[in-house]
Amino acid sequence: MLCRASYPVFMPVEMAIWKLGTKPEPVQLSGLDQESTLENALKADLSIVDPDLMLLATQVQTDHGKRIDVLAMDRQGDLVILELKRDKTPREVVTQALDYAAWIKTLSAEKIEEIYAAAHPDTDLPTGFADAFGTPEQYPEAINLRQRMIIVASSLDAITERIVAYLSEFGVPVNAVFFRAFKQGDTEYLARTWLIDPNTAEQRAEGKTDTGVPKAPWNGLDYYVSFGEDQWRNWEDARAYGFVSAGKGKWYSNSLKSLKPGDRVSVHIPQQGYVGVGEVTSTAAPARDAQLTVDGQDVAFKDLTFKAQTMHDELDDDQCEWVVGVKWLETVPTSQAYWEKGMFANQNSACKLRSTITLEAMRKKFPKAFSEDA
């Protein structure tokens, strides 16, 4: 059933992992001896928190003599503060995060670019944005319209949990994420849990924040997918085998990584219209590794035959297609693509679908796909 919980999901801080076999074998909890270990992991790859983040700088000096542990930006140009708990008291970690957000809110685009340039002397922010998300043409027209805070810890006390949960309930864009390290032999693993489901936290913040930029709340389920038909991809292939895909650059493929099994996608072909609705069945994977379920059988994507004759090109290149498995709920051929004035269209390969006009129109055009809505 396609649904999303509308309540905050409080995840357990303590967790255990077992390797399944003849007998479950516990994986040893190694712990994070120093918060610097976690900070280094964040600097190396912010996607462990959110694949939609790029690093601006670490240890950012504020005008009040304090330092922000990690400052990041998402593809919408909103700024994200990641504050490591370390040995701070509950009051300190939450107050500091709020104080940093108040300071960040006052920064101009020029100042943010200066902060980035100081940490990346060989490049500038638009170029860094292009490297992280796509091409310079996609750089946001306005940045820092919104700010959010994430408290990062290997554990969190009950007082801090209650404070963060309370603030979130009243629309403050704050959350907490926990990382625990596990070890088996010479291999180490990092596990992540959120205090509040990120979708719930986002919905609450959007419902309370007034930035002067109207933005409809997201229902936690629906995504828009742009499926560009060309020599690399054909909609009839996607209908037949159950997938959506994007490639020819990180800007196009990275946004597909936001899709998760259970999400509902409404697929739009640029210059044509909407052609189908489906339920995501697998996370994004490069074409060389992707697996699809076709007629009840698991099939390697690279072994399929396509109408798009160049779909298999550049399988081992950064330009390759990324593929997401989809169970189609209702589709039409390109010749019957549906479009009405006022419907949502975007050049992102995937993004949250918030447009009530579009969702209402899609319910009428594809009623079977929306029949399970409460």
User: Quick check: 214 pLDDT over 60?
Assistant: no
Pairwise pLDDT comparison (266 vs 170), residue with the higher score: 266
How far lies 271's CA from each of 172, 224, 247, 337, in Å?
39, 15, 19, 10
- Mark whether 50 and 121 lie in a shared domain: yes
Residue 339 structure tokens: 């479009």
Same domain, 199 and 101: yes
Could you list the residue range(s) of the whole structural domain that residue 282 is in?
222-370
Whether 101 is covered by a domain: the verdict is yes
The answer to whether 154 touches 15, Cβ cutoff 8 Å, is no
Pick from 276, 217, 205, 245: which is nearest to 349 by CA? 245
In this structure, are 200 and 320 located in the same domain? no
3 domain-assigned: no
CATH number for the domain harbouring residue 303: 3.10.590
- For the segment 72-100, the average pLDDT, to the nearest whole number, is 87
Q: Does residue 1 form part of some domain?
A: no
352 & 230 share domain? yes
Q: Is the pLDDT of residue 135 over 80?
A: no
Residue 11 — pLDDT band, cuts 50, 70, 90? Answer: very low
Query: If 0-12 CB within 10 Å is exposed, 13-18 middle and 19+ buried, where does residue 24 land?
Result: exposed
CATH number at residue 67: 3.40.1350.10
- Please report whether residue 11 resides in a domain: no
* Residue type, position 283, single letter: T
181 vs 214, residue with greater confidence = 181
Enumerate the H helices of the chain as residue ranges.
35-44, 90-105, 109-119, 125-133, 158-169, 198-208, 235-241, 250-254, 356-365
| pLDDT tens string 26-47 | 877 665 555 667 778 888 888 8
Residue 261, SS3 per DSSP: coil
Q: Hey, what amino acid is at 326? A: V
Q: For residue range 354-364, what is the model confidence (pLDDT) as tens digits? A: 888 999 999 99
Q: Are both 199 and 255 inside the same structural domain? A: no
Segment 253-267 shows an average pLDDT of: 91
Q: How many domains does the chain have?
A: 2
**41 against 243, higher pLDDT:** 243
User: Which of 208, 237, 257 delimits the end of a domain?
Assistant: 208
In this prediction, residues 222-233 reach a mean pLDDT of 88
Does a structural domain hold residue 9?
no
Q: What's the pLDDT at 30?
A: 66
**Could you tell me if 235 and 127 lie in one domain?**
no
What value does the mean pLDDT of the chain take? Answer: 83
Q: Does the residue 105 lie in any domain?
A: yes
Q: How confident is the model at residue 137 (pLDDT cuts 50, 70, 90)?
A: low
Q: Which residue would you say has higher pLDDT here, 12 or 332?
A: 332
Residue 155 has pLDDT above 80, yes or no: no
CB-CB contact of 324 with 244 (8 Å): yes
Whether 227 is in a domain gets the answer yes
Does the residue 89 lie in any domain? yes
| Better-predicted residue by pLDDT, 247 or 184 | 247
Domain boundary among 186, 208, 230: 208
Q: Do 294 and 177 sit in the same domain of this protein?
A: no
Residues 140 and 77 in one domain: yes
